[in-house]
């Protein structure tokens, strides 16, 4: 008898504590964030995390959503799909309504699959996958899912932006890409859009390189020069991009470099002053966009990050993500993944730079403006203390990247 009452007291205590835990969990809207936070790509995850934290603090200061604050919960996935799925499991165990992931389309594909299965099996504990940078076009076409929302333009859209930025005088281009899923899709899309938009342009070389294996790019530069190319187009990132451009500049090759990722962490440092006026990058944002537009508020916001951290702020797109979340949660009226997902569909928001953006209903792909930055001297905010920075060479509006899709969306009842 006595033992039993002891157990019931214990049980009551446990329930009370669990209840308290539940209550405090309800006060914030948790967003699980999984990206490499250790290993060779740790810099990517680390930089993202700091920028997101800055943005979340800002959104929370503006009231969060439904009177609750957003909270970022990081999980290291070591660039491994299996670890990302473990993060997903922890997130759903703690009833988090969102999981966010930015780098690696292979990881994104695994997450989409995992989220679909989880949401089918657990209708009362669903989770939305916010994709902040995995850009394989397949993810919103063949593989599209109701629970997946992509907040960055996909590779085909970026390829179109890059081709549109090619000046009239350029008629000979050389393509170099990394030999894996992403690099191959960039190669394919660049060929498609060059043929469609610029039939006058001749592709004088088209090459795939082994991912992260090349230490000396000089032989490639020799080959590119011999081909007579005026511009090099590449989706390479990390050392494969840095070393390629460095080798080209060292050899004094008369080339312009069209890249996807030269503006990201480490790129400007590696390129250096030799790249003045030669390197272009397709980007969602650059620190000089706001002053060029004369948008004081956006400039202040960007500068606020610079004052706190030692590296550049490149993640304006993340602010758009949280503005969408804020609006969608408010519109849904509850922190409920299904309701929020329906609220996000077709939503339009004017982003902080003043451009119209839409979360396309058919495939959950964000359609937003995009920029092509040119790396040069004499800009207001330089990149990574190199004295050079990204000036906007071209602005492509949302309506110009509104490519068709093949998604057959299955919505829950």
Give the nearer residue to other proteins in terms of CB position, either 42 or 347. 42
Residues between 293 and 352 with contacts to other proteins, criterion CB under 8 A: 311
Q: Which of 225, 303, 309, 376 binds other proteins (CB under 8 A)?
A: 225
Tell me, residue by residue from 365 to 384, as one string, x for binding to other proteins by CB under 8 A and - for no binding: -------------------x
Q: Note whether 63 binds other proteins by CB under 8 A.
A: no
Give the nearer residue to other proteins in terms of CB position, either 212 or 291. 212
Q: Note whether 265 binds other proteins by CB under 8 A.
A: yes
- Rounded CA-CA distance 126/147 in Å is 9
Q: Note whether 214 binds other proteins by CB under 8 A.
A: yes
Q: Note whether 223 binds other proteins by CB under 8 A.
A: yes
CB of 335 to other proteins, least distance (A): 34
Segment contacting other proteins by CB under 8 A, of 55-63, 128-136, 154-162, 264-272: 264-272
Q: Note whether 202 binds other proteins by CB under 8 A.
A: no
CB of 34 to other proteins, least distance (A): 18
Q: Which of 27, 82, 218, 348 binds other proteins (CB under 8 A)?
A: 218
Judged by CB under 8 A, how many residues of this single chain contact other proteins? 39
CB of 219 to other proteins, least distance (A): 4
Give the nearer residue to other proteins in terms of CB position, either 168 or 215. 215
Q: Note whether 272 binds other proteins by CB under 8 A.
A: yes
Segment contacting other proteins by CB under 8 A, of 62-70, 78-86, 148-156, 250-258: 250-258
Give the nearer residue to other proteins in terms of CB position, either 208 or 393. 208
Q: Note whether 78 binds other proteins by CB under 8 A.
A: no
> What residues line the site for other proteins (CB under 8 A)?
40, 42-43, 46, 179, 207-210, 212-216, 218-223, 225-226, 239, 242-243, 246, 250-253, 265-266, 269-270, 272, 311, 384-386
């Amino acid at each position: 008898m006595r033992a039993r009452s002891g157990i019931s007291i214990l049980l009551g205590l446990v329930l009370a504590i669990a209840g308290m835990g539940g209550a405090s969990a309800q006060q914030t809207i948790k967003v699980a964030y999984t990206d490499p936070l250790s290993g060779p790509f740790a810099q990517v995850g680390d930089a993202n995390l700091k920028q997101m934290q800055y943005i979340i603090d800002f959104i929370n200061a503006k009231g969060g959503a439904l009177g609750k604050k957003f909270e970022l919960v990081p999980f290291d996935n070591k660039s491994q799909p299996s670890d990302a799925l473990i993060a997903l499991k922890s997130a759903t165990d703690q009833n988090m309504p969102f999981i966010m992931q930015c780098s690696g389309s292979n990881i994104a594909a695994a997450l989409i699959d995992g989220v679909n299965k989880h949401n089918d099996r657990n209708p009362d504990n669903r989770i939305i996958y916010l994709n902040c940078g995995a850009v394989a076009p397949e993810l919103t076409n063949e593989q599209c899912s109701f629970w997946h929302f992509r907040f960055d333009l996909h590779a085909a859209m970026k390829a179109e932006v890059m081709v549109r930025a090619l000046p009239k005088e350029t008629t000979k281009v050389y393509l170099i890409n990394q030999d894996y899923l992403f690099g191959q899709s960039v190669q394919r899309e660049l060929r498609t859009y060059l043929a469609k938009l610029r039939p006058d342009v001749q592709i004088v070389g088209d090459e795939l390189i082994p991912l992260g294996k090349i230490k000396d790019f000089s032989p490639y530069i020799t080959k590119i020069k011999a081909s007579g190319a005026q511009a090099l187009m590449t989706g390479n990132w990390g050392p494969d991009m840095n070393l390629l451009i460095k080798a080209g500049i060292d050899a004094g090759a008369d080339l312009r470099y069209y890249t996807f990722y030269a503006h990201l962490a480490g790129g400007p440092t590696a390129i250096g002053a030799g790249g003045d006026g030669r390197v272009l990058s397709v980007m969602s944002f650059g620190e000089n966009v706001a002053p060029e537009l004369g948008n004081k508020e956006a400039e202040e916001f960007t500068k606020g990050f610079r004052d706190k951290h030692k590296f550049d702020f490149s993640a304006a797109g993340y602010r758009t993500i949280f503005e969408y979340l804020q609006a969608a949660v408010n519109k849904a009226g509850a922190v409920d993944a299904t309701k929020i997902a329906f609220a996000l569909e077709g939503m339009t928001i004017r982003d902080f730079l003043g451009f119209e953006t839409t979360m396309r209903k058919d495939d959950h792909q964000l359609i937003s403006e995009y920029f092509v930055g040119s790396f040069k001297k004499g800009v207001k905010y330089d990149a990574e203390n190199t004295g050079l920075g990204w000036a906007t060479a071209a602005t492509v509006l949302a309506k110009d990247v509104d490519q068709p899709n093949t998604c057959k969306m299955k919505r829950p009842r």
